[in-house]
Amino acid sequence: MAQNDKYMPKPGDFAEIHHYKRQIEELNKSPLNDRKAGAKEWFESMRDTPKTVGERVGWLLAGNYGYGSYVKARQIAASKGMNRVAALGGMIAELEWQCPSRMAADEWKRLTPAQQQTVNAEVAKAIQEWEQEEGIKVTPVKGVSGHLREPGHGRPMPRSRRPRLTR
């Protein structure tokens, strides 16, 4: 059994995951003014108190927002091939601030680059703490942009220097 297989949903988990998905569908159908208010609060939290965002991601990974979201968050956190910071950030924006994930991404783009890095670092810290608690080998967490970055630089790695996949 691969290390990440233990984070895959089990047959009994699907009802809870379905309940979580219904919550998100209801949020996406809520009145626009409510969604805009949630987006505003999300933006202010990222800008003014990024530690709160990281703390809430930690709560999500601990199961404080319900079992369905807990299972989904653990699955995301254990997936090394995806942008875990963005996925968990979108989830927590939906659950805590009632801000749909698409709007959450748009609000994140409004932050300055320094603010974006601070929020990303707080979420990455929560993921790495969870990995340590679970006994998973700690790995660097991709930034929200998801691009491969050159070591020590903030710009994407040129295609000529990216690792090639061989079959």
Q: Which of 166, 66, 91, 83 lies closest to 124, judged by CA? A: 83
Q: Each residue of 112-156: pLDDT tens digit?
A: 999 999 999 999 999 999 988 888 765 555 554 444 443 444 555
- Mind listing the pLDDT tens digit for each residue in 145-163? 444 443 444 555 566 665 5
DSSP letter (8 states) at residue 63? T
With vertex at residue 147, the alpha carbon angle to CA 27 and CA 7, rounded to the nearest 5 degrees, is: 55
Based on its alpha-carbon atoms, the radius of gyration of the chain, rounded to whole angstroms, reads 17
CB 7 within 8 A of CB 75: yes
Alpha carbon distance 108, 36 (integer Å): 14
20 band by pLDDT with thresholds 50, 70 and 90? confident
Can you give the pTM of this predicted structure?
Answer: 0.75
Give the number of residues written for the chain: 167
pLDDT-based confidence at 78, cuts 50/70/90? confident
CA dist 57 and 153 (Å) reads 27
3-state secondary structure of 156: strand
Could you say which DSSP state residue 157 is in? Answer: P
